Amino acid sequence: MNYRTLGRTGWKISEISFGAWAIGGAWGNVDDRESLAALHAALDGGVNFFDTADVYGDGHSERLLAKLKQQRKEKFYIATKAGRRLPVQTVTGYNRKNLTAWVNRSLKNLNTDTIDLLQLHCPHPEVFYRPEVFGILDDLVKAGKLRHYGVSVEKVEEALKAIEYPNVQSVQIIFNIFRQRPAELLFAEAQRRKVGILARVPLASGLLSGKISRASRFAKDDHRNFNRHGQAFDRGETFSGVDFEPGLRAVGQLKKLVPPGASLAQMALRWILESPAVTCAIPGAKRPAQVAENVAASDLKPLSTATMKQINGLYARQIKPLVHQYW
Ligand SMILES: NC(=O)c1ccc[n+]([C@@H]2O[C@H](COP(=O)([O-])OP(=O)(O)OC[C@H]3O[C@@H](n4cnc5c(N)ncnc54)[C@H](OP(=O)(O)O)[C@@H]3O)[C@@H](O)[C@H]2O)c1
């Protein structure tokens, strides 16, 4: 496992880290024993950074991470998020009372006195134009409740605004073979300001693992069923916002580009790691075998220039016209 520095925190974090949404909920049935085994497998593979949120399984994901902390001695970082407990996203919802209450709840779930990294969880875009919200986060750092804070965003423009605030250490954004716009402008700007990039949805919700087909069916409580068209939250969070048919066609072609000895999921993760602005990818996983496969991507050879060119050409021809303008 290779490690990269996160923002100005001085933390060296694993370039393949762990996304803990699926083990909390909204991805069909999960089994806590398997989920914990997956978390242990991540630590065994050198992962030292875990991304969660207060709303994943209404705190269940955070509580599983607290359990992991109890069971293991090694130091690891937990990034959580706040803001999605609001019934409707409003700017006024990001006030001192709410932010403090959400943080206190996460501290309890995580069984800790200080949160390593708190991220605003895809708030209303206007929040990024309100310095007072970031002032509240500064106060929570001063009070010792947070070590650092960052943001999770939907759009590149929100990220560009957020990183104007001097204490934002990280931006979490969708970045994968099917979502390439962040590399155009945001990455250079984030590097210039020494802001970390957490690449979320790196496998396009599993589509870029190559195992999903036209015959795949998803449970009622799996967002790949209930949010296919953005009915519950931003449609870009499900399959990266790419419609199933064109997505599957592109995946069929990507399969032909996979280097010997690697899997499609690993090629997708390696593609992300080729961007030096990226601090880490945070693939979600529910089972130890998925974790082992994902973690191993860090030790594979970089993709050849020819492969990178073919992947990016495929994006430009088949996916870019469908999604590039949205996020
Ligand atoms: N708004 C936000 O801030 C936000 C939104 C979305 C995600 N996130 C964060 O980003 C993380 C990653 O995104 P994501 O979980 O949505 O999507 P993802 O990482 O693109 O996909 C994860 C899913 O792909 C499947 N998978 C993982 N590894 C695999 C492998 N090696 N082979 C085959 N299938 C594999 C698993 O699902 P199955 O086994 O069920 O197929 C897994 O749950 C989340 O866990 C969360 O921490 C944040």
Residue 29 has pLDDT above 90, yes or no: no
Residue 25 has pLDDT above 90, yes or no: no
CB 148 near ligand 1, within 6 Å: no
3-class DSSP state of 292: helix
Return the bridge partners of 194, or none. Answer: none
Q: Could you read off the pLDDT of 306-318 as tens digits, one per residue?
A: 999 999 999 999 9
Ligand 1 pocket, mutate which of 176, 203, 271 (most atoms under 8 A from CB): 203
Residue 207 has pLDDT above 90, yes or no: yes
**Closest-CA residue to 42 (of 81, 4, 69, 60):** 69
Across the beta sheet with 49-51, the strand order is 18-19, 49-51, 77-82, 115-121, 146-152, 168-174, 196-200, 280-281
Q: Whose CA is nearest to atom 25 of ligand 1?
A: 206
CB 202 near ligand 1, within 6 Å: yes
Q: Whose CA is nearest to atom 38 of ligand 1?
A: 206
Q: Could you read off the pLDDT of 218-272 as tens digits, one per residue?
A: 999 999 999 999 999 999 999 999 999 999 999 999 999 999 999 999 999 999 9
Q: Whose CA is nearest to atom 29 of ligand 1?
A: 290
Counting from 1 in the atom list of ligand 1, the atom nearest the Cα of 52 is: 47
- pLDDT value at position 259? 97
